[in-house]
Amino acid sequence: MSYHRTVRCSVCYERGHNKTSCPTLKDAWEKDPNTYYGKQWQRILDRKAKAKKCGYCDAEGHTRASCEIKDRHMTIFQLDLAMWRRALVKALNEMGLGKGALVRCNNSSYHAGSERGGWTYPNDEGYVAPVGMLMETDWNPMQLTHFNGIMNSNTWLEAGMLGSVDRIGADQSLMSYHRSVSISLPSIQGIVPRFGKGYWASEQIDRDERVNNNEWEVVSPGIVPLDTSEFVSGKELRRITKKWFAGGKDANYAACFSQFTDFQRDQLLQYINGEIELSEMIDPKVPTDDT
């Protein structure tokens, strides 16, 4: 007989059950509930007697596993994610960001080598923006979700990494990570909004002021398109959806869940279908009240 995946009790060490259904604890409780094992079984009974409370929507009567609100939000998440990723891939390809592309990184720090003063920063006098060739992409599936397209979400304020470029003219004696410059997800009108709502009615949050390495431009298009087949595959979308609802900070609880507006969905679909150009897309309006 195979015991693969068979549970083992942490009390009696027998297979086939866990502590919450251990006959040893139950027998001890029936004989004398004041013994050490008897008290453990009593705590299990007390816990089972408590009303169920959902860890997602905070309502009583069900658990997170059977929460209808969570299931509905997961469906919305996957649909919005699929649409946003398709739009992002199309936009990046139109920008010319492919394998072999030459990219100028206009706000990136880089290591110029010890003989040239070490690190160079964008606010240094005489700063020269580094240019490099994109050889590999670094699609972080948990960072590159449609929450980047929803202003004021936690993810929107933390740019996902797209990849890194090998800096032209870098000192070859440097470590490889010092010769490369990372590029982050930029603000893309209609896909990744630049401005969000601040804490006060008159305040706006400028994403570009909070994100590093996101002001880059393709100076020579790539010769090979980005390999995004897995990035937009149904299997990958389902996997990411499941992971986000198991602990993603923008989808861990019903109260923090965010989704696209109908305006955003309609615009993304029009762009994907070729009905409008990237230059015609607009960001959602930033609220001007304190709500």
Using DSSP's 3-state secondary structure scheme, residue 29 falls into: helix
CA distances from 288 to 139, 199, 204, 236, 243 (A): 34, 10, 9, 37, 34
Distance between CA atoms of 167 and 105, rounded to whole angstroms?
A: 10
Residues with Cβ within 8 Å of residue 79, at least 6 apart in sequence: none
Closest CA to 41 of 52, 25, 54: 25
Computed over every residue of the chain, the mean pLDDT equals: 89
Tens-place pLDDT, residues 227-283: 888 999 999 999 999 999 987 778 888 988 999 999 999 999 999 999 999 999 999
Q: What is the pLDDT of residue 2?
A: 46
Tens-place pLDDT, residues 128-166: 999 999 987 878 878 899 999 999 888 998 888 898 899
Using a 10 angstrom Cβ sphere, with 0-12 exposed, 13-18 middle and 19 or more buried, the burial of residue 4 is exposed
Residue with tokens 């309609």: 266
Q: How confident is the model at residue 3 (pLDDT cuts 50, 70, 90)?
A: very low
CA distances from 206 to 151, 157, 209, 211, 250 (A): 10, 9, 6, 9, 20
Distance between CA atoms of 34 and 79, rounded to whole angstroms?
A: 54
Q: What is the pLDDT of residue 291?
A: 53
Tens-place pLDDT, residues 34-66: 999 889 888 888 887 777 889 899 998 898 889
